[in-house]
Chain A
């Protein structure tokens, strides 16, 4: 047997074999009950991953949620999500991370999900110029369909493929700065900056959250809110480890 069958432990991601992609959905709902029925968390954040087709959104998510990777490409049908609960800033935060299809034909569904997302991971492929050129358009989509405070992280994926790189790190960084996003280069395959990306996004959503509390709702507190905090904060840049 070339690949050993997966341990039948429902919640634990398999590391021996890569069980990729969205087709696992049906069983997740029955066997992954922990993911859905566990109420033991403080916050729930919804995060959306967007970007051109085949830049590695699904792989990125699978690396983060299951710590698995498969080189085979299976196009995501419409939308999919995974749930992961993390412990951050002394809080248990349940992340519902939505993975979207990059293909144009699913656009009506995927853009509909923008409104429910608190943060975005906008992804391009450093070996694919076209995916990088599309970042501006994706950013416009976010501005159009999402709330004003939407937090976005620009991620250049596949940074393990240095030989085939066509988008220099610096260009990514400049574009991110221009758009007001934070920037990472990452690799789902080699597990570079994956966890860091999500954690940074969670942190900046947390920041937005406490800001929104500080300018609290007058209906509840009976006091006029102070001056709105401006969103002009220069994002710190995290450099890729490779």
Chain B
């Protein structure tokens, strides 16, 4: 019956809903598997303690469990009616006044009950072919993954998904000057050769010519440069200029990533009074960096050769909800300063996509070695379910007092695919250090925390019953004319990027509903002072809207930090609910569309939504 089971017969919206349930179920299962694994280990230990296991012959007149010798008259022991072994009075567990079992039999029974094994055994009597432990949910997920040929996306993943393809397409549409051929590119490269040698300052601006995005982006960058002096200073501080050889030999992506890094540097200076304007104009915002890390993050990635390996282990301690990263050693690192043959390495880790100081952990610096031993365990307190959306970035740096830090290599481990239940993955392994991967980082910086809201579409409808079903059948237009209200309660936010010292924000939320005729209804929440995790619990009411209008409308929510007197408010992150598929600069949650439909298709019902806040801002 179950062989043909899959989700194909469902409509897209239904499938989304069912998938969410399946993912939640997967979570519950994982926790249970971990519990069972622990139980089994405990049982094993108990069995090892008693030397006489069931299969072994044992000495007459001695307790099968503790080996104590038994007397002929006194303390004769008794036979366990579970395993028929003779055991002494101390190795029994009384179940009731008339029934006892030996410790091992008891433990086996206990184990069977606690793991649910009893049920599988009973069930096997009727369905002997059934896989004991693979649940329907697991099967469905598997078949879904197979059929859809797409990777599994956890419920609300952070936006790692932006592809080069989409990027390029977007840039084509944006940039009018994108007519340059590859020849032109080399031409500009050639002109740049001369410029590069002129000054470091020029270097930064000109290098963007090497990338695909000339037009607007280019202008924007120049503009940014002129706006923010600190940015130029930052560029000036760059010690090692990459050689032309490196630039030419580097791959396309590397070049682009490279440029972005330099440009990001300009944005990474949060202290600049102009930085707010910079934020608004830019497409990418590296606003999450801790100030201390600015130099390393924007620093020297231009190490010609990354060599060596790093040895570490990752495990998750369910009891304390702690992710432990144990960094043991590195070997064969490249020298931080090639000429002097100097290297003072240390390792730094982030739990991406969070690149704030909260997510940063560092080991101590080891002096004068390319084979450092660290033996340090770095810990994160994090819920298990959160790990699916995270990546562990482990980078190695060279540190020298009063000098810039030098990047020596990194490893990025996606935790979604990490098997925390399996013992083998918890042991130490060597990983090849790699050059900085530009692409994902650009996307990752966009995670600016989470916003929790609940929404409800209120229709003055007579028959609430069956509305949903009617709509499922396509009878949507029935209520299309009815005026309704969209209620949205902004509950709270967490993991917001905190810049102010003391770690607090004066945050508020702006909501904007854009109707199909581009008419905008705006709402704003009160400011919550000095809260890092604000709980506004504020209700937005968007009045006089029809469901048919809403079906083509989009709702934007933005979180802002109110600045002190005189300066501009700081943008913290935004989220969007939209009926359209995410496209272009809008790297919306893939679920945006689905959630919007949920609200519309379940009128008069509160729908909880958790948004991942993004740092890019469309104006």
Contact = CB atoms under 8 A, between A and B. Distances in A.
Interface of A: 1, 4-8, 17-31, 33, 35-39, 41-44, 54, 70-75, 77-81, 83, 96, 105, 108-109, 111-113, 115-116, 118, 145, 147-149, 208-210, 212-213, 216-217, 220-223
Nearest to A212: B118
B28 interface: yes
Contacts of A42: 114
B579 interface: no
Interface in B331-388: 383-386
B92 interface: no
Contacts of A147: 119, 122-123, 125-127
A97 B578 CA distance: 33
Contacts of A28: 24, 608
Contacts of A21: 602, 605
Contacts of B27: 29, 36-37
A23 B602 contact: yes
A5 B608 contact: no
Interface in B1-32: 1-2, 5, 7, 9-10, 14, 17-18, 20-21, 23-25, 27-28, 31-32
B135 interface: yes
A125 B436 CA distance: 62
Given A23-B602, A25-B24, 14 more contacts: A4-B537, A5-B454, A5-B489, A6-B537, A8-B452, A8-B537, A19-B608, A21-B602, A23-B607, A29-B24, A38-B31, A115-B127, A148-B122, A213-B109
A21 B454 CA distance: 13
Contacts of B20: 25-26, 29
Given A1-B539, A5-B489, A8-B535, A221 B108 contact: yes
B539 A112 contact: no
Contacts, number: 209
B121 A22 contact: no
Contact of A24 (B2, B23, B608): B608
A39 B610 contact: no
A37 B384 contact: yes
B353 to A, nearest CB: 15
Contacts of A27: 452, 608-610
A24 B607 CA distance: 6
Contacts of B83: 221-223
7 contacts: A23-B608, A37-B383, A43-B114, A75-B472, A77-B10, A112-B2, A212-B121
Contact of B21 (A6, A19, A25, A54): A25
B32 A44 contact: yes
A25 B491 contact: no
Interface in B133-152: 135-136, 139-140
Contact of A19 (B14, B469, B595, B606): B606
Contacts of A217: 112, 121
Nearest to B35: A39
Contacts of B538: 5
B384 A33 contact: yes
Contacts of A24: 607-608
A29 B23 contact: yes
Given A26-B609, A37-B384, A73 B84 contact: no
Nearest to B102: A221
Nearest to B389: A30
A37 B318 contact: yes
Given A5-B537, A39-B31, A75-B468, A149 B122 contact: yes
B596 to A, nearest CB: 12
B122 A33 contact: no
A30 to B, nearest CB: 5
Contact of A6 (B17, B491, B604): B491
B2 A36 contact: no
Contacts of A4: 537
Contacts of A96: 25, 28
Interface in B433-466: 450, 452, 454, 464-466
Contacts of B38: 39
A123 to B, nearest CB: 18
A33 B21 contact: no
Contacts of A220: 54, 105, 108, 112
A157 B14 CA distance: 27
A20 B606 contact: yes
Contacts of B604: 72
B155 A72 contact: no
Nearest to B2: A112
A108 B454 contact: no
A39 B118 contact: no
B81 interface: yes
A33 B123 contact: no
Given A30-B155, A147-B123, A36 B31 contact: yes
B24 to A, nearest CB: 5
Going nearest first, the 4 A-B pairs with the smallest beta carbon separation are: A5-B489, A27-B608, A147-B123, A78-B18
B469 A75 contact: yes
Given A26-B156, A212-B122, A72 B136 contact: no
Given A108-B9, A118-B119, A37 B454 contact: no
B336 to A, nearest CB: 41
A208 B245 CA distance: 76
Nearest to A220: B108
B95 to A, nearest CB: 9
A37 B385 contact: yes
A73 B385 contact: no
Contacts of B606: 6, 17-20
A223 B101 CA distance: 13
A152 to B, nearest CB: 15
A209 B123 contact: no
A8 B492 contact: yes
Given A23-B602, A25-B20, A26-B20, A73 B464 contact: yes
B479 interface: no
Interface in B509-548: 535, 537-539
A26 B114 contact: no
Contacts of A118: 119
Given A5-B537, A19-B454, A212-B118, A30 B5 contact: no
B18 A74 contact: no
Contacts of A108: 5, 9
B31 A112 contact: no
